[in-house]
Amino acid sequence: MDTMIVAILKSTLLPILAIVLMSCSSVPTPSPDQHTAFPTKADKGSDVVMFAMALMDGNYHFGGGNPESGFDCSGMVSYIFQQSVGLKLPHSAAQMTKQGHDVRLSRLSPGDLVFFNTTGRSFSHVGIYIGDNRFIHAPGQDGKIKISNLKSAYFQKRLEVARTFLNP
């Protein structure tokens, strides 16, 4: 009889006791280095860069703003930001410089915008910084979206300012 009572107690009381003890435990709080539910600037920057890279070798077309017609520099940037992070930017490099937040060149992050004077007119060209002193842009000279280096002699002397449109 005693073994039967012990067996019944084990089969019913032990699971109930386990449930009671588990309900008393606390939920672990995430450490600061764990990802949160909200995208960070780095997450958004990666989204922008990945979307931009998918357009590599796309056609240049002055005034263009989509893959079918081709892109000019500001049309490419505007399209990428709208599609990748849902942010509508003007289709004008000069207008873009009036928005966003200043970024020191030494603090550039992927997804930040870099602006150049390539025509003798301020802010006449824009590209998206992708890291390692490189940026992706739609230059008119060879007709394709490509990656260039900020430290190249041509772009280094024409670089004017950088802006971020991604929340820090």
What is the 8-class DSSP label of residue 38? S
Which of 24, 35, 61, 73 is catalytic? The answer is 73
Largest interatomic CA distance in the chain: 100
**Measured CA angle at 41 (ends 39, 47), to 5 deg:** 75
Q: Which residue's entry shows tokens 């030494």? A: 106
24 is catalytic: no
125 is catalytic: yes
137 is catalytic: yes
For residue 140, count other CB atoms closer than 10 A to its CB: 13
**Measured CA angle at 63 (ends 59, 69), to 5 deg:** 40
Which of 24, 61, 101, 137 is catalytic? The answer is 137
Strands 70-71 and 65-66, bridge-based pairing: antiparallel
User: Under DSSP, is residue 137 helix (H, G, I), strand (E, B) or coil?
Assistant: strand
What distance in Å separates the CA atoms of residue 85 and residue 117, rounded to the nearest whole number? 27
For residue 31, count other CB atoms closer than 10 A to its CB: 6
Which residues are the active-site residues? 73, 125, 137
